[in-house]
Amino acid sequence: ISNLRRFLYMILQLFRNAALWGKSSQSSTSGYGPELALDGLSNTYTHTTIETNPWWRMDLLKVYRVNRVTITNRPYLGYRIYGAEIRIGNFPDINNDLSVCRCAVISTLADGATATFSCGGMEGRYMIVHLPGYQKILSLSEVGVYGYLAGNLAVDGATTQSSTITGWFAEKAIDSNRGLQQNTACSSTLSETNPWWRLDLRDVYTISEVVITNRNDCCAEQINGAEIRIGNSLEINGNNNPICAVIPAIPAGESYSYSCAGMEGRYVNLIIPGDMKTLTLCEVEVYEGGLTMSHVFYQQNSEEH
C-alpha cells in the first residue's frame, strides 16, 4: 500500500504541474517571440534583437526548488551563448539580488551540445538566462528546468515534546526563527531519559529532506546522537517510526540538512536515546520530495538571424 501510494503521489505531482509550466518573456524580439520556446516544437525558436544584456525569462508561477537546468546550444553560431548566466530567484528583474540567484555561468558550449547545470535546490519563481554585455543576441535551442515545489511543510504543523523547560515551547522549533535568541526562538526539553520532539504534518507527505538548526550557545553537543524518525504511527509517541538519519553532531548555530530519500509519513520525530539528555531545537524544516515539473524549449535549425 505504501509503495502504491508513493507511486500515485508521483503521478499526481506530474499531472498537477503539467498545467503550471509557466509563462515566458524576453528582453526584445526579432521575429520570434518568447512563447515559441514553450510550444514543444523543434521547428520554432526564440530570438532577441542585438542589444545590451539580453535575457529570456520563465515565470514558473510558483516557487520551486530547482535541482538542475539543462541548456542545449544552437547548432551554429554557438559562441554567442558564451558568458550567459542562469539565474534562479523570486524577482523578475535580473538586477535584483544578482549575487544570490545565480545558478551557473555558461563559459563555453559546443554547437548543438547539451550541458546540465546543478542549481543545488535553489528556490525561485523565475528562471532567467541572461547574457551580459553590449551588442549581444540571445538565442536558445533548448532549455530544461527540473525541480519540485518549494515550501517548508513544518510551518503548518502541530508540535509537542516530552517535557518543556519554562518558555522553551515545542512550537518555537517551527517559528521560522533559527534562534539567535535561544529562549525566545528554540524549543527544549528538561534533562530526562529519551527526550523527544514531534511534528504532526496533519497529512501524509513524501519527504525529501529535514533541516535541523542547532543552538548557538554553550550546549551544542546536546544534539549529538539524535535520531530523525518519519512515519504514520504514534506508537511510543511516534518514536518507533523508521529512522531517516542519526545526527552525529551539528556545530553551534549551524543548520544541517538530512536526506530522507522520499520517506513517507505524517509525523516527524526527533529523539535522543539515553539518560540525562536534553533535546533543544532552534528550527526544524521539512521539505517535500518528488520531481514535479520540467519543461523543454526548442529553437529550429534554420538560417542565421
Task: Tell me the per-residue pLDDT of 1-20, one tens digit each, with 9 for 90 and over.
Answer: 444 544 544 444 433 332 23
- Which part of the chain has CATH 2.60.120.260? 2-149, 153-288
pLDDT of residue 305 exceeding 60, the answer is no
Q: Which cell numbers hold the place of 152?
A: 517548508
In this model, does residue 42 exceed pLDDT 80?
no
Cα-trace Rg, the chain: 23
pTM: 0.55
Q: Which fold has domain 2-149?
A: Jelly Rolls (2.60.120)
Q: Between β-strands 243-247 and 187-188, what pairing exists: parallel, antiparallel or unpaired? A: unpaired
Q: Which ranges of 25-153 would DSSP assign to H, the alpha helix? A: 98-101
Residue 37: its pLDDT value, please? 66
Mean pLDDT of 165-179: 88
Superfamily of domain covering 153-288: Galactose-binding domain-like (2.60.120.260)
- Mean pLDDT, residues 264-269: 97
Task: Give the mean pLDDT of 50-73.
Answer: 85
Predicted local distance difference test score (pLDDT) of residue 212: 94
Percent of the chain with pLDDT over 90: 46
Whether the predicted pLDDT of 99 surpasses 50: no
Maximum mean pLDDT: which of 20-24, 124-128, 140-144, 278-282:
278-282
Percentages helix, strand, coil for the chain (3-state, rounded to 5) are 15, 40, 40
**CB crowding 88-102: b at 16 or more within 10 Å, else e:** bbebeebeeeeeebb
Under the banding of pLDDT at 50, 70 and 90, the label for residue 255 is confident
The average pLDDT across 117-127 equals 87
Report helix, strand or coil for 26.
strand
Q: C-alpha cell of 124?
A: 525561485
What confidence category does residue 295 fall into, taking pLDDT thresholds of 50, 70 and 90?
Answer: very low
Q: Which long-range contacts (CB under 8 A, 24 or more apart) does 214-217 make?
A: 214/250, 214/251, 214/252, 214/253, 214/254, 214/255, 214/256, 214/280, 214/282, 215/179, 215/182, 215/186, 215/252, 215/253, 215/280, 215/282, 216/179, 216/180, 216/182, 216/252, 216/253, 216/282, 217/182, 217/252
The gap from C-alpha 241 to its chain's centroid, in whole angstroms, comes to: 25
Question: What is the residue whose three cell numbers read 535553489?
Answer: 122
Mean pLDDT, the chain, whole residue set: 82
pLDDT for res 149? 64
Asked if 165 and 197 touch (Cβ cutoff 8 Å), the reply is no
Written as nine digits, the cell of 111 is 554547437
Rounded to whole angstroms, the Cα distance separating 87 from 85 reads: 6
